[in-house]
Chain A
Amino acid sequence: MSQLQAEVTAGPSEDISAEPSPEVVGKSPGQLFWLRFRSDRAALAGIAVISILVLLALTAPLIAKYIVHHDVGQRFAQEPNSMLNEFGLPKGPNAQFWFGADRVGRDLFVRVIYGIRTSLIIALLATTIAVAIGVVLGMVAGYFRGWVDTAISRGVDVMLSMPLLLFAIGIVSTCSRSREGCLGGLVKPGVPVVIFVIALFSWPNIARLVRGQTLSIRERDYIEANRVLGAGNTTIMFREVLPNLIAPIIVYSTLIIPSNIIFAASLSYLGLGVPESTPEWGRQIAQAAPIFEIAWWAMFFPGLFLVLTTLAFNLVGDGLRDALDPRMSTKAKKRKAEGSEDEEGVRSTTRADALGMASE
């Protein structure tokens, strides 16, 4: 957590010369965070949307069974009431099929809802794994420096210069060839291989971020003090350095979740990774593309949910970043531009660059 100082809770700026000075009450960092986050309407909207999506994801089987009465894999292709026309092409939204039917006659609403599960599971797991790896490697690189840092940093550079999609396609194809998958059975075809690939390409950025943060944190006096007092490296890393990394890690993680959702959707759009029977928005969009002119719903609804989900996570991520470190917020930048520069302002610019998350 960045070093937040108690802020004066002044009332709205007005001429206070005629009034006695208000009492200065300190607020804890947590309260300050919540105050700022609460005022960010967009972020709150994002939280609301994510909550609804998570709720839908958790209750999807119940919704399918008790509310809609359609199973996720069930095809409604037989007369009467077939959802496919005489050319086997799907019919649109009606009272029973809220989003219409997909390319092979399944209930699109149910499949889009189930798709939330697929996307969230893949993105959250992949992000968690990437963060775990990235934090450890980044911390080690930034803390120990020297040849350890060089080795890890070069590794990061190599990974970052790889063409993302091409390698992802190659790895997914190779690992999907046999039932055992690759890495000695650790990475099985289907959802596991997608998680593996996404995590593989996500950890370098986190490592770089964490390394940068670690480099600056390790110079601080209290770290030096702890070392003098005889604390071991591991203790310092996990007790002193890591807590200061939490904020940027949380922010960055929240912001890469939507990237990873889209990454997963891109792979399944190309027909890789997730099998056809597993609902996934990318695959749904791919199947709908050739028939877009006659079945707009088949692409619209998965696309809508994809955009909404990624937008929500982005808004929440932005809100978190603004609330956790106000020096990087748009408001702070404006204030700086208006002339209230300070040493902290200079430092925050550097940090913002290091995070690669300049908000404009």
Chain B
Amino acid sequence: MRKGHFFPVSVLLVVLVLIGAACGGDGDDGGSTGPTGDTVAEGGGTYRVETDGIAYTSGGDPTGEYLGLSFGILSNLLDRTLLTYYHSSGENGNSLVPDLAEDFPEVSADGLTYTFHLKDGIMFGPPLSREITSADVEFAFRRMATESLVAQYGFYYYGLIDGLELGEDPGAGGIPGIETPDEKTIVFHLTRIAPEFEFLVAMPAAGPMPEEVAGCFTEAGEYGRYVISSGPYMYEGTDALDASSCDALTASGPIAGFDPEDHSYFIRNPDYDPATDSPEVRENNVDRIEIDLNTNLADIFDKIERGELDGHVGSGNPPAEVLQRYSTDEALQPMLVTGQDDRTWYITMNLAAAPFDDIHVRKAANLVMDKAGILQAWGGDINGEIATHIQPPALTGGSPTNEEYDPYATPNFGGDLDAAKDEMRQSVYDTDGDGMCDAPECSGVVMVNRNTSPWTESEAVVVDSLAQIGIEVDVREAEDHYTIMQTVSNEVPISMNPGWGKDFPDSSSFVGFLFDGRGIACEGNYNYSLVGLTQDKADECGIEFEDVESVDADIDNCKQVALEGDLDATNQCWIALDERLMEDIVPWVPYLWPTVITTIGPAVTAWDFDQFAGTTAFSKVAVDTSAQV
């Protein structure tokens, strides 16, 4: 349009925006509330969900998917592992139960050999419709070993299962530590005792995969749109695939019902036999599940309230105004549901990048941070507990809480400027001793953040807090924030985007995974702080650094203690490591142990929280179709 007309049109736009924003939120008041939780679930119907974004780590490929939501989808709907979880909340939700296997494994006396027997009658869905064999489970581990597939938590398995190393596909029978004496038996040989091994076989990447389909895809992020289900549901349109050859497969695909950038539609898997499963593990009430993309978060919650949707999935909790509306309205309260997420949201600091390569700066950041302000920006106390150390206390038996251990305690968690300045004074980056960071490295410090709520709201708090000690950050809000952080060569000094949820209910999947220097990868890295960085690894990734401390020995020690089987002693060891990290290494400013909150629509008659995945238990939801709008 000609510039001359831009003004009246743009004023019109401004006015329209104001009107639109005012009118956009109008929904009906309340709406009928359906009972949730323990009522007898009705069968059938569609569970309709919208998401403001699912950041798939591998396009839906179970080998590389490392997202809580993906875990929830795979474990509930598509992927039956040897052992699985109960897909419910609390301790029950963290407990294992045999799924693909008949029973828990036979473990040899020396603790190094695990034998599983597979159930009869568990089949891959269309287009294969054939029984699952031990070779299919072995194939999953072969994919994990295939470097090009980027198994994001393969680290747990390499070197643990005898002969399982990152490289090329070892081929059938190519991993000495995995034996398949017959179609229904699989035997694992470990190189060391690993009490967490049963958790490891419950991870979605360890679920059975058909070589005739999955074997056609050798690069990360490709198989996702061709996933063959072993669970109660499948992607709509999977039956349209032609699996007679790899070419026929790609010609007939990808699956219409799954586009990682747009939608996921699940229908029942006709080859699933409920007799091989248990309602305590999966109820499978609904006939169909729909997940659609809607970048307007406010719109999603409005639709849920009106009954046009049944739920939301995504990274964050509902926005503060939604929380307020539901918390203060008696009719809406029952539809605000929560789950205890075993997770820490944190700000990560790069030990190899100025000015955070100075421990005094990192400590000062912990002392000045207004954590209460961050929680407020998230929408208040309802969102969880302020975090004061690395691991959520639930992982180590419920302690230490933020009251029991806070190495950087400040009044009401609001930050203590004087204490922070005292700490900063000891830093080389405070050249004049006034407690403010004033060296050139203190300004223009790049900080990565998400571009979604509530991180965009809490951004002001973080920027403000750091500014008070002279650190001027230059915020970059990015959609691909994880990819940026996981690339070591980007040398991002500080970031407020990350969170870490346990992979399985054991500290070795939290502290033990995150800070192991041997686990640093140049791409796909999770040890953002680079604790335990070695010269070799730095050279490999192309970065420079000075001394960086390592806790590798402490991690190995705690794993050793775990072998002795004394849960208390094990927890104490991990807690001690957590405290050592907070006081001597200081890689993070942890700020929240969140409660997962979401709203469910008035038509939902059953809903549960999947404690393992930290998301909706998709196999346990139910709807009353007559109440759906």
Q: Give me the interface of A with B, judged by CB distance under 8 Å.
A: 73, 75, 77-79, 84-89, 103-106, 160, 164, 176-177, 179, 189, 201-202, 204-205, 255-256, 258-259, 262-263, 265-266, 269, 271, 275-277, 285, 287-294, 299, 303, 306-307, 310, 314, 356-357
> Beyond A160-B2, A164-B6, A266-B13: 11 further Cβ-contacts under 8 Å?
A87-B324, A104-B373, A104-B457, A106-B460, A205-B4, A258-B7, A275-B475, A277-B467, A290-B297, A291-B320, A310-B7
Q: A89 contacts B321, CB within 8 Å?
A: yes
Contact across chains for B7 and A299 when beta carbons are under 8 A apart: no
CA distance A118 to B497 in the complex (A): 28
- Is B6 within 8 A of A356, CB to CB? no
- Is the pair A276, B451 in contact by a Cβ cutoff of 8 Å? no
- When A75-B461, A277-B460 are in contact, do A87 and B474 touch as well, CB less than 8 Å? no
Closest to A205 in B: B3
B464 lies within 8 A of A75 (CB): yes
B477 engages A271 (CB within 8 Å): yes
Instruction: Give the residues in chain A near B376, CB-CB below 8 Å.
Output: 77, 84, 88, 105
Q: Are A293 and B22 in contact (CB under 8 A)?
A: yes
The majority secondary structure among interface residues of chain B is helix
A-facing residues in B356-397 (Cβ within 8 Å): 370, 372-373, 375-382
Say how far B195's CB is from chain A's closest CB, in angstroms. 42
**Contact of B324 (CB < 8 Å), options: A79, A89, A189, A201:** A89
Are A292 and B7 in contact, CB atoms less than 8 angstroms apart? no
Distance in angstroms between the alpha carbons of A256 and B319 in the assembled complex? 38
Whether A259 lies near B475 (C-beta < 8 A) is no
Q: A293-B22, A293-B321, A299-B18 are in contact. Are A263 and B464 (CB under 8 A)?
A: no
20 contacts between A and B (CB under 8 A): A73-B464, A75-B460, A77-B373, A77-B376, A86-B380, A87-B382, A88-B375, A88-B379, A104-B377, A177-B476, A179-B474, A205-B3, A275-B475, A276-B459, A288-B21, A289-B17, A290-B297, A294-B321, A303-B18, A314-B7
Q: Is the CB of A357 within 8 A of B4?
A: yes
CB pair B319–A259 under 8 Å, yes or no, is no
Is B128 positioned at the interface, with any CB of A under 8 Å from its CB?
Answer: no
Closest to A104 in B: B460
Complex contacts, B2 vs chain A, CB 8 Å: 160, 205, 356
The distance in angstroms between the C-alpha atoms of A276 and B25, with both chains bound, is: 25
Q: Please name the residue on chain A nearest to B7 by beta carbon.
A: A259
Interface string of B337-363 (1 = CB under 8 A from A): 000000000000000000000000000
Q: Whole-angstrom distance from the CB of B53 to the nearest CB of chain A?
A: 15
- In the complex, what distance in Å separates the CA atom of A258 from the CA atom of B11? 10
Assess the B10–A303 pair: CB atoms within 8 A: no
Given contacts A88-B377, A271-B451, A290-B298, A179 and B327 within 8 Å (CB-CB): no
Among B18, B376, B412, B461, find the residue whose CB has the most chain A CB atoms closer than 10 A.
B376
| A259 and B379 form a contact (CB under 8 A) | no
A306 contact set on B, CB distance < 8 A: 14
Chain A residues, Cβ within 8 Å of B319? 290
Do B17 and A285 touch (CB < 8 A)? yes
- Residues on B with beta carbons closer than 8 Å to the beta carbon of A291: 320-321
In whole Å, how far is A326's beta carbon from the nearest beta carbon of chain B? 21
**Size band of the B side of the interface?**
35 or more
B394 to chain A, nearest CB (A): 24
Point out the residues of chain B lying under 8 angstroms from A202, CB to CB: 3
Most buried by A among B298, B321, B375, B467: B321
User: Do residues B461 and A104 form an inter-chain contact, with CB atoms below 8 A?
Assistant: yes
Q: Within the complex, what minimum Cβ distance (angstroms) separates A233 from chain B?
A: 29
Distance A89 CA – B326 CA, assembled complex (angstroms): 14
Residues of B within 8 A of A255 (CB): 7
Interface residues as binary, B12-43 with A (CB distance below 8 Å gives 1, 0 otherwise):
01100110011001000000000000000000
B575 at the interface (CB under 8 A from A): no
CB distance from A177 to the nearest CB of B (A): 8
Q: B414 interface residue, CB < 8 Å from A? A: yes
Known contacts A89-B320, A293-B25; A276/B382 CB under 8 A: no
B370 to chain A, nearest CB (A): 8
Do A307 and B14 touch (CB < 8 A)?
yes
Chain B residues within an 8 Å CB radius of A104? 373, 377, 457, 460-461
Q: Are A292 and B25 in contact (CB under 8 A)?
A: yes
Would A276 and B463 count as touching, CB distance under 8 A?
yes
With the chains together, A103 CA to B477 CA distance in Å? 18
In the complex the two chains form, is B4's CB within 8 Å of A356's CB?
yes
Q: Is B446 an interface residue (CB 8 A)?
A: yes
Is the pair A276, B475 in contact by a Cβ cutoff of 8 Å?
yes
**Known contacts A75-B461, A84-B376, A290-B321: A263-B444 contact under CB 8 Å:** no
**A288 to B24 CA separation, bound complex (whole angstroms):** 13
Residues of B within 8 A of A256 (CB): 3, 7
Looking at A86, A103, A164, A303, the one whose CB has the most chain B CB atoms below 10 A away is A86
The reply on B140 being an interface residue by CB < 8 A is: no
Q: State which of B298, B372, B476 has its C-beta within 8 Å of the C-beta of A176.
A: B476
Query: Please, which residues of chain B bring their CB within 8 A of the CB of A89?
Result: 320-321, 324, 379
**Which chain B residue lies CB-closest to A262?**
B10
Taking CB atoms, residues of chain B closer than 8 Å to A79 are 412
Residue in A259, A277, A294 whose CB lies within 8 Å of B463: A277
Q: What residues on A are CB-neighbors of B377 within 8 Å? A: 88, 104
Q: Separation in Å of the B402 CB from the closest CB of chain A? A: 18
Please, how many angstroms separate the alpha-carbon atoms of A292 and B378 in the complex?
Answer: 17
List chain A residues, Cβ under 8 A from B457.
88, 103-104, 287
Are A73 and B461 in contact, with the CB atoms below 8 A? no
Query: Is A87 touching B7 in the complex (CB atoms < 8 A)?
Result: no
Q: Point out the residues of chain B lying under 8 angstroms from A310, CB to CB.
A: 7, 11
Interface string of B564-579 (1 = CB under 8 A from A): 0000000000000000
A315 to chain B, nearest CB (A): 12
Asked if A87 contacts B11 (CB within 8 A), the reply is no
Give the residues in chain B near A204, CB-CB below 8 Å.
3
Minimum CB–CB distance from A130 to chain B (whole Å) comes to 10
Cα separation A256 to B277 with both chains bound (whole Å): 69
A148 vs chain B, min Cβ distance (A) = 23
Q: Inside 8 A of A179's CB, which chain B residues have their CB?
A: 444, 446, 474
- Determine which of A84, A201, A271, A303 lies in contact with B14 in the assembled complex, contact meaning CB atoms within 8 Å: A303
Q: Are B477 and A87 in contact (CB under 8 A)?
A: no
Cα–Cα, bound, A271→B459 (Å): 13
B55 CB-CB contact with A under 8 Å: no
Residues of A within 8 Å of B166, CB to CB, are none
Report if A87-B380 is in contact (Cβ < 8 Å); known contacts: A75-B464, A189-B474, A289-B17.
yes
CB-CB nearest in chain A for B415: A78
Residues of A within 8 Å of B4, CB to CB, are: 205, 356-357
Cβ-closest chain B residue relative to A88 = B376
Chain B CB count within 10 A is highest, among A202, A285, A293, for A293
The residue among A75, A160, A205 with the most chain B CB atoms within 10 A of its own CB is: A75
Question: CB-CB < 8 A to B621: which residues of A?
Answer: none
A270: min CB distance to chain B, Å = 11
Contact A78 B412 (CB under 8 A): yes
> CB of B323 within 8 A of chain A?
yes
Bound Cα distance from A201 to B3, whole angstroms? 9
Question: Can you list the 8 inter-chain pairs with the closest CB atoms, starting with the nearest?
Answer: A88-B376, A356-B4, A205-B3, A87-B324, A87-B380, A289-B21, A262-B10, A104-B460
- Look across to chain B and name the residue whose beta carbon is closest to the beta carbon of A90: B320
What B residues does A205 contact at CB under 8 A?
2-4
Q: In the complex, A229→B566 CA distance in Å? A: 106
Given the interface pairs A189-B474, A205-B3, A276-B475, the reply to whether A263 lies near B10 with Cβ below 8 Å is yes
A120 to B: closest C-beta gap in Å: 17
Using known A-B contacts A176-B476, A289-B17, A290-B298, determine if residue A88 contacts B378 with beta carbons closer than 8 Å.
yes
Q: Which residue of A lies closest to B383 (CB)?
A: A88
**Contact across chains for A307 and B11 when beta carbons are under 8 A apart:** yes
Does B414 lie within 8 Å of A78, measured CB to CB?
yes
Bound together, the chains give a CA A103 to CA B319 distance in angstroms of 12
Chain B residues contacting A160 (CB-CB under 8 Å) are 2-3
Question: Which A residues are in CB contact (< 8 Å) with B467?
Answer: 73, 277
* Chain A residues closer than 8 Å to B10, beta-carbon distance: 259, 262-263, 266
- List chain B residues, Cβ under 8 A from A269: 17
